[in-house]
Amino acid sequence: MTTGFERYSKKTRRAAFLEEMEQVVPWSSLCSLVEPHYPKAGNGRRPVGIERMLRIYFLQQWFNLSDPAVEEALYDSPLMRNFTGIDLGNEPVPDETTVCKFRHLLEEHNLGGAILETVNVHLQSRGIKITTGTIVDATIIHAPQFDEEPRAETRSRDASDPQGQAVVLRDEGAYRCGQ
């Protein structure tokens, strides 16, 4: 996403990830799960939309953001604002207290497990297999299976090349020393 003045741009991994999540997360089903527990308009301040709050909650999970950090990230990142549907020309970002109260609402009604189950069932119905892995900056990296003792070929070791120069062998390949 650009603001209109940039001459050059590149789709980042974050942008590609958020575009994919826009398509694969069943937002309407998740809203239906939360709606019975969500505050109704008329008792004080008008509540922020459920889908927007869910999207903010997911951003927190995917990018490991605290309540204050997600508020700041939403002000700082046009990409995240676009994903959540926030237009700073018309409305502010929900503050950290609002985000905290929403998270507590989900915890209080044990909705985290139901949200996860809904997403998993939806993804599996679309042929996307869920496997264990590690999330690093919201990029799924499949974790290798490790034996108790590392294999000999994965250990770092020193050697020399045919010219007698020291070479350090690592998983990534050979690195010459002293050049």
Beta pairing partners, 166: 160
pLDDT, tens digit, 9 for 90 and up, residues 52-106: 999 999 999 889 999 999 999 999 999 999 999 999 999 999 999 999 999 999 9
- Mean pLDDT score of the chain, rounded to an integer? 78
Task: Give burial (CB, 10 Å; 0-12/13-18/19+) of 86.
Answer: buried
Query: 123 and 21 in contact (C-beta within 8 Å)?
Result: no
What is the model's pLDDT at position 172?
44
pLDDT, tens digit, 9 for 90 and up, residues 117-175: 888 888 888 877 655 544 455 555 555 655 555 555 444 444 555 555 554 444 444 44
Alpha helices in 64-128 (DSSP H): 67-76, 78-84, 96-108, 111-125
Beta pairing partners, 160: 166
* DSSP at 166: E
DSSP per-residue codes, 98-110: HHHHHHHHHHHTT
Residues 110 and 120: their CA atoms lie apart, in Å, by 17
Lowest mean pLDDT among 8-17, 22-31, 150-159: 150-159
Residues 79 and 15: their CA atoms lie apart, in Å, by 7
153 φψ region: left (φ > 0), alpha (ψ -120 to 50), beta (else)? alpha
